[in-house]
Amino acid sequence: MIATAQSGGSATIVSTKAHSGTHSLQVVSSGGYSNHVFYGLSSLSALGSGTDVYGRYYANFQNAIGQNHVTHMMMTDPVAQTLRMGGQFGVLDWNRANDDSIMPDGSPNNNAQSVPIAANTWYCIEFHLSRSSGQIETWVNGAAVPALTTPQSRWGSSYKPNPSNWGLGWESYGGDANTIWFDDIALGTTRLGC
Domain-located, residue 193: no
More confident call, 108 vs 13:
13
pLDDT per position as a tens digit, 38-55: 888 888 988 888 889 999
CB 23 within 8 A of CB 1: no
Strand partners, 53: 129
Residue 58 lies in a domain: yes
Q: Confirm whether 121 is domain-assigned.
A: yes
DSSP bridge partners of 122: 60
In a domain, 92, yes or no: yes
Assigned domain for 184 exists: yes
Q: Where are the beta strands (DSSP E) in 48-177?
A: 53-61, 70-77, 81-88, 91-96, 102-103, 122-129, 136-140, 143-144, 166-172
Q: Read off the CATH number of the domain in which 122 is found.
A: 2.60.120.200
69-91 core/surface letters (b: 16 or more CB in 10 A; e: else): bbbbbbbbbeebebbbbbbbbbb
Whether residue 36 lies inside any domain: the answer is yes
Q: Which residues contact 100 (CB under 8 A, 6 or more apart)?
A: none
In a domain, 194, yes or no: no
CB 86 within 8 A of CB 93: yes
**Does any domain span residue 77?**
yes
pLDDT tens digits, one per residue of 133-175: 888 999 999 999 989 988 766 676 788 899 999 999 999 988 8
Q: State the total domains in the chain.
A: 1
Whole-prediction pTM value?
0.93
User: What residues make up the domain containing 62?
Assistant: 2-188
The angle formed by the CA atoms of residues 175, 92 and 137, to the nearest 5 degrees, is: 140
Mean pLDDT along residues 12-23 = 94
